[in-house]
């Protein structure tokens, strides 16, 4: 009997498709991280406080989270190509509204629309990877997508600080709107849902009842709950520092300029990229996903604890902690790979969407809560937030991650060797 196994890695056309999706993903990372660089400028220009800034930043992730389950249905029903293209059009509209917004409510609306539109990018890439490549390459290729997408984070640090001082943040955002529009066209032209001969192309579309039953099957998976808890907390805590308050903390407590703080955040993104590249193939080397995620998160907890407990240490200490969090925070991507492994291919869209809902809902809640925590402390005479306010925030983040690791440590590991063994058995039969 002729084997139906897909062609081995690397699959040239699959790599082109995944790279195209990853390039579009750059814009998502730029907009989600931009507030860490221009946050104080937004507060000054719009006359808002830290609570409003936290809500504004969280709106992106609330929009992001709200679209995960609906897009999971669309991925399994329509496929990634049509789903991603349609949602990128929405993201382009949201980015344009944000760029032209005259007031905070309109800015909030634009940011929520961006989050909703960009909410498909990582899941779409993962669905494509799962159908174009064998399971033991999933983590490596997901790491590649994240690494390319993080170029958006890089642009949102020192380059954004420089450009904003030169031409203003609205002009910079306008250029990114054009980039999103071009990326949308590229996705439609290049992306294909699955390689020739893949069962997805010959499937019988599910009825609405079957689609709902599939979602209930995902939610009823007994292996899901500890993974959801870890995903809700892990990236949320790291990104609250690196995507919102890290820059203001360095500027208000240590007196760094916007560009100096941007340089630190730029370096943190670079270390995060190194972390993703390093952690990506590590599951195949160590044949575990769960314990890689636990180890990286424990280092992040230690760094947050340093920021929470140390009273005005030398500036190199928080800088080193932020950089270290960037490197080891990349282990959070292994939790997503772990979660992907508990679902069969027919449920991959809904399964990954459910997991990513926890990730983005966690970020949205933590960003909003962080603004409340920082805003609960009286500002200094010059209007800046005190070191005590930031230390309180870091302490809360430390506690949240400790609880998350305790819950996740009871999860069942899904090892690459087990997946490859299960994949070979049907072919041998």
* Range picked from 1-15, 68-82, 181-195 for highest mean pLDDT: 181-195
Boundaries of domain holding 340: 12-428
Give the confidence band of 382 by pLDDT, cuts at 50, 70, 90: confident
CATH number reported for the structural domain that contains residue 203 in this entry? 1.20.1250.20
Per-residue pLDDT averaged across 370-377, rounded?
88
- The whole-number pLDDT of residue 6 equals 44
| In a domain? residue 78 | yes
Shortest CA distance to 363 belongs to which of 25, 33, 40, 26?
33
| In a domain? residue 165 | yes
Residue 7 clears pLDDT 50, i.e. is over it: no
Give the confidence band of 2 by pLDDT, cuts at 50, 70, 90: very low
| In a domain? residue 409 | yes
| In a domain? residue 246 | yes
In the chain, how many domains are there?
A: 1
Give the confidence band of 5 by pLDDT, cuts at 50, 70, 90: very low
Residue 427 clears pLDDT 50, i.e. is over it: no
Q: What is the mean pLDDT of the chain?
A: 84
* H/E segment holding residue 321: helix 316-329
Per-residue pLDDT averaged across 377-384, rounded?
78
75, 353 contact by CB (below 8 A): yes
Give the confidence band of 325 by pLDDT, cuts at 50, 70, 90: very high
Per-residue pLDDT averaged across 371-375, rounded?
87
Tens digits of per-residue pLDDT, 137-147?
777 788 788 88
- What is the helix, strand, coil percentage profile of the chain, to 5? 80, 0, 20
Burial of 293 (0-12, 13-18, 19+ CB in 10 A): buried
Per-residue pLDDT averaged across 246-272, rounded?
87
| In a domain? residue 423 | yes
Residue 24 clears pLDDT 50, i.e. is over it: yes
Helices (H) and strands (E) in the chain, counts: 22, 0
Question: What is the SS3 assignment for 6-34?
Answer: CCCCCCHHHHHHHHHHHHHHHHHHHHHHC
Residue with tokens 């699955």: 194
Tens digits of per-residue pLDDT, 174-199?
999 999 999 999 999 998 887 777 77
| In a domain? residue 4 | no
Distance CA(404)–CA(230), nearest Å, equals: 5
409, 294 contact by CB (below 8 A): yes
Tens digits of per-residue pLDDT, 223-233?
999 999 999 99
Distance CA(427)–CA(353), nearest Å, equals: 28
Q: Which residue has the higher pLDDT, 176 or 154?
A: 176
| In a domain? residue 1 | no
Structure tokens at 387: 């070191």
Instruction: Enter the pTM of the model.
Output: 0.71
């Amino acid at each position: 009997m002729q084997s139906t196994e897909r062609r081995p890695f690397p699959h040239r056309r699959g790599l082109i498709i995944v790279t195209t999706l990853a390039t579009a993903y750059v814009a998502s990372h730029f907009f989600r991280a931009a507030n860490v660089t221009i946050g104080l400028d937004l507060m000054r220009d719009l006359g808002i406080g830290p609570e409003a800034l936290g809500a504004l930043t969280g709106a992106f992730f609330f929009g992001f989270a709200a679209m995960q389950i609906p897009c999971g249905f669309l991925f399994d029903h329509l496929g990634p190509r049509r789903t991603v293209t349609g949602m990128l059009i929405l993201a382009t509209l949201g980015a344009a509204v944000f760029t032209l917004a005259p007031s905070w409510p309109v800015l909030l609306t634009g940011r929520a629309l961006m989050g909703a539109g960009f909410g498909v990018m990582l899941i779409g890439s993962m669905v494509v990877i799962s159908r174009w490549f064998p399971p033991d390459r999933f983590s490596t290729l997901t790491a590649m997508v994240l690494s390319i997408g993080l170029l958006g984070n890089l642009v949102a640090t020192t380059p954004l600080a420089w450009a904003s001082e030169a031409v203003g943040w609205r002009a910079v955002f306008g250029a990114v709107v054009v980039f999103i529009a071009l990326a949308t066209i590229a996705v439609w032209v290049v992306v294909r849902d699955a390689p020739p001969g893949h069962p997805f192309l010959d499937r019988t579309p599910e009825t609405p009842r079957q689609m709902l039953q599939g979602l209930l099957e995902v939610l009823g998976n007994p292996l899901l709950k500890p993974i959801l808890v870890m995903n809700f907390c892990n990236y949320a805590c790291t990104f609250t520092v690196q995507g919102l308050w890290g820059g203001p903390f360095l500027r208000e407590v240590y007196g760094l300029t916007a560009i100096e703080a941007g340089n630190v955040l730029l370096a943190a993104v670079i270390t995060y990229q190194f972390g993703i590249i390093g952690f990506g193939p590590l599951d195949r080397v160590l044949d575990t996903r769960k314990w890689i995620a636990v180890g990286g998160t424990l280092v992040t907890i230690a760094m947050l604890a340093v920021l929470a407990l140390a009273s005005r240490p030398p500036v190199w200490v928080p800088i080193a902690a932020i950089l270290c969090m960037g490197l080891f925070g990349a282990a959070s991507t292994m939790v997503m790979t772990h979660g992907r492994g508990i679902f069969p291919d027919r449920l991959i869209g809904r399964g990954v969407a459910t997991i990513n809902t926890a990730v983005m809902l966690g970020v949205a809640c933590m960003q909003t809560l962080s603004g409340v925590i920082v805003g609960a402390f009286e500002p200094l005479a010059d209007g800046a937030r005190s070191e005590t306010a930031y230390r309180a925030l870091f302490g809360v983040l430390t506690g949240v991650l400790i609880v998350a690791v305790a819950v996740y440590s009871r999860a069942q590991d899904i090892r690459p060797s087990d997946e490859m063994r299960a994949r070979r058995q049907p072919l041998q039969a």
